């Protein structure tokens, strides 16, 4: 598999921005990451409709897996309250996804190695010791947006593999390595 230098530099820049967004997760980064996900997933639907061949399968898988992740993450169907017979409620907790457990673990264990532990003031919005420590909700929102993009990329790769498998086209030699 060969990559161009432009692709590798863009991938490294995207990873750097995603890492910065996690380390300094604010409401701005949470909104920006989620908005970017939604724009990319809608764009993937348009690109899947316009493309042909391998590109169509990639964008279709990207859109299906990306939207599927967000639906499972935010769907009220998975949040039934114990005292409700017919209604559904939306809770922050959500379904027990591995990404949710990983985001919480990274916030509680991993982030303390990067930032000095915060000393929160009474309003719980700012730290008094100068640490730009993100809140758990902002950190988890950014993390879920990044997981949605990774899951969508996985769907795109699965779409490409489905194209090669069911359309009877062999994998080109440059992609087989």
Q: What is the pLDDT of residues 49-74, one digit of tens each?
A: 999 888 899 999 999 999 999 888 87
pLDDT the model gives residue 42: 96
Tokens coding 106: 């990274």
Query: Tokens 């991938």 label which residue?
Result: 11
Please give the Cα distance from 26 to 19 (Å, whole number). 13
Low-confidence ranges of the chain (pLDDT < 50): 82-83, 85-92, 177
Domain region containing 151 = 5-176
- Report the pLDDT value the prediction gives residue 94, as an integer from 0 to 100: 60
Torsion of CA 34, 35, 38, 39, to 10 degrees: -150
Q: Is the pTM of this model over 0.85?
A: no
pLDDT of residue 138: 86
Whole-number pLDDT of residue 87: 47
- Per the structure, the count of domains in the chain is 1
- DSSP secondary structure of 132-168: -PPPHHHHHHHHHHHHHHHHHHHHHHHHHHHHHHHS-
d(CA 14, CA 10): 6
């Amino acid at each position: 598999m060969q990559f161009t230098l432009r692709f590798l530099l863009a991938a490294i820049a995207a990873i750097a921005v995603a890492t910065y967004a996690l380390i300094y997760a604010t409401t701005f980064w949470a909104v920006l990451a989620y908005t970017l996900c939604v724009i990319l997933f809608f764009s993937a639907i348009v690109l899947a409709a316009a493309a042909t061949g391998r590109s169509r399968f990639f964008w279709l898988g990207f859109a299906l897996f990306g939207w599927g992740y967000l639906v499972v993450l935010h769907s009220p169907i998975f949040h039934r309250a114990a005292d409700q017979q017919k209604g559904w409620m939306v809770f922050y907790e959500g379904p027990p996804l591995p990404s949710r457990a990983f985001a919480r673990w990274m916030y509680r264990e991993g982030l303390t190695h990067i930032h000095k532990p915060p000393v929160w003031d009474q309003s719980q919005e700012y730290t008094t010791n100068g640490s730009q420590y993100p809140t758990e909700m902002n950190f988890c929102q950014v993390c879920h947006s990044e997981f949605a993009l990774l899951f969508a990329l996985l769907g795109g790769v699965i779409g490409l593999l489905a194209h090669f498998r069911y359309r009877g086209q062999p994998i080109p030699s440059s992609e087989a390595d």
